[in-house]
Structure 1
Amino acid sequence: MDNEAGLHLFTSNRLETLAAKLSERLRRPLPSPLQPEIIVVRNQGMERWLKLELARHHGICANTRFRFPEAFAYEMFRTVLPAMADDPPFEREVMLWKIMKTLPGLLSRREFGSLEQYLSRRADPRKLVQLASRIAHLFDQYLIFRPEMVLAWEEGRDEHWQAILWRSLARETNGRHPAALRRDFAAALAQPNVERSGLPERVSIFGLSAL
């Protein structure tokens, strides 16, 4: 498998071409015949289609595990970072409820004046749910596209309401969110004595335009 090491990138505007290339790569066996192939796809529809394509090329599609990007990432985090909690605490749905719990206790601070004014105008409990949902979506996007900003907030940078609210949320979960996990994962892999036996020998990522 030495010649397989590294990142191999194949591009095409036709999924059929990419499926044929993947099929060609998978003909090279893994070291253990019992080890499953890992293929990361974006949704169940892509999984079903790709299974049929691989079966068409190989005659069968077996011993293959399909994973969605987020689930696969958390599997790898747990393998290398065993202290990680089983349930990701910063999934958007979970974050919404944490924001609803935390935000009211911060509204008396000067930095939250605009939010306090919005929520106090025509008091309606649904407004807190709607606001928390918008903030949860925003923070979720930050974790994906601006992880360095989120990590800087945790180090004390910035004193606007978003940074303050984020620090409050992060303290409740010891900062075990995707941005911190990616940082810790990369740092752990750089250590010579890290346990790698649970990591897959080969991972194929199919049909994703962005990660």
Structure 2
Amino acid sequence: MGRESGRENQSTGEAGIPGSRVWPCVTVRNESPARVTEAGEPSLNPKAILELPLKSLAQKLEDEELSLESVLGSYLEEALKVHKKVNCLTDFLGECEEKLQALKKLKKTERGLLYGVPISLKDTYDCKGHDSTCGLAQFLEKPAAKDGVIVKVLKAQGAIPLVKTNIPQTLLRSLKWHLAYLLLRGTCSQF
């Protein structure tokens, strides 16, 4: 099937992220971002970009003090670093580079409040062409037919969704509740 996510070409790359070997904007090794930041400001420190509060980041992007490429590249690189440590990414939203190019064509009067701001989405939010598993295997390989309302609003305001992150806390909460319930009721001894 021709899905927008390009999953038919996906495999787990060096970073352990689905589709990481084909990530368009960053490399999967311990190198700097590839294509996106080559065109950006080479002297910029990604850490300085990542430490900006949302309001400041959005303002600098709107005023073109920062390029869309340098910000997206910084966030993608950081997402890879964090994923290598805690295994948090479930999907890469490859269309982020297309969204970036579309945003660059907008007039200043057409830009939304989140113009160019990279965002990660929890796995529960539908993003067209991508699975929303909620951590459950039964929802694998069932990509969303369209973007969910929250994703539509974020995109309409100029945000760039770049990755989906897992939600293990939901599963653990359920397990802990059941164990706590069993222990309090004294029913564990029956097993």
TM-score band w.r.t. shorter chain: under 0.3
The structure that is helix-richer by fraction is 1
**TM-score normalised to the size of structure 2?**
0.23
Normalising by structure 1, we get a TM-score of 0.22
Which structure has the bigger radius of gyration?
Answer: 1
